C-alpha cells in the first residue's frame, strides 16, 4: 500500500474516532490541551511490580530500571 493510501486510511480512522488532523498535530508537538490520562512508564512499573513475586520482580528489575531511567 503506498504512503498516500495509508495516510488516507489513517485519517479516515482518526475521523471515525472524532480526532482531527489538528488534534494529531497538537499532540505531536506537545501542545495538546487535553491532559494525558495514561500512566507514565514509571507509574506503570510501580503498579505491576507489586503484583509480581519476589523472584519474578528480581528478574525484571534490570529491565524496569532501564525503561524508567
Which pLDDT tens digit goes with each residue over 23-59?
Answer: 888 878 776 666 777 888 889 988 888 899 999 989 9
- pLDDT (mean) for 9-27: 89
**Residues 27, 45 within the same domain:** no
Of 45, 26, 42, the C-alpha closest to 34 is: 26
Residue 51: per-residue pLDDT? 92
Contact 26, 36 (CB under 8 A): no
**Residues 23, 52 within the same domain:** no
Residue 68: per-residue pLDDT? 85
Alpha-carbon distance of 21 to 25, in angstroms, equals 6
Domain tally for the chain? 2
Instruction: Kindly tell me the burial class for residue 26, based on how many C-beta atoms sit within 10 Å of its own C-beta (0-12, 13-18, 19 or more).
Output: middle
Long-range contacts from 59-63, C-beta under 8 angstroms, 24+ separation: none
Residue 62 structural domain: 38-69
Amino acid at each position: 500500500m503506498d504512503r498516500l493510501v495509508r495516510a488516507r486510511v489513517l485519517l479516515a480512522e482518526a475521523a471515525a474516532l472524532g480526532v482531527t488532523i489538528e488534534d494529531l498535530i497538537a499532540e505531536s508537538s506537545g501542545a495538546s490541551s487535553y491532559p494525558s490520562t495514561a500512566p507514565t512508564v514509571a507509574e506503570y512499573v510501580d503498579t505491576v511490580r507489586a503484583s509480581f513475586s519476589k523472584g519474578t520482580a528480581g528478574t525484571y528489575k534490570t529491565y524496569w530500571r532501564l525503561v524508567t531511567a
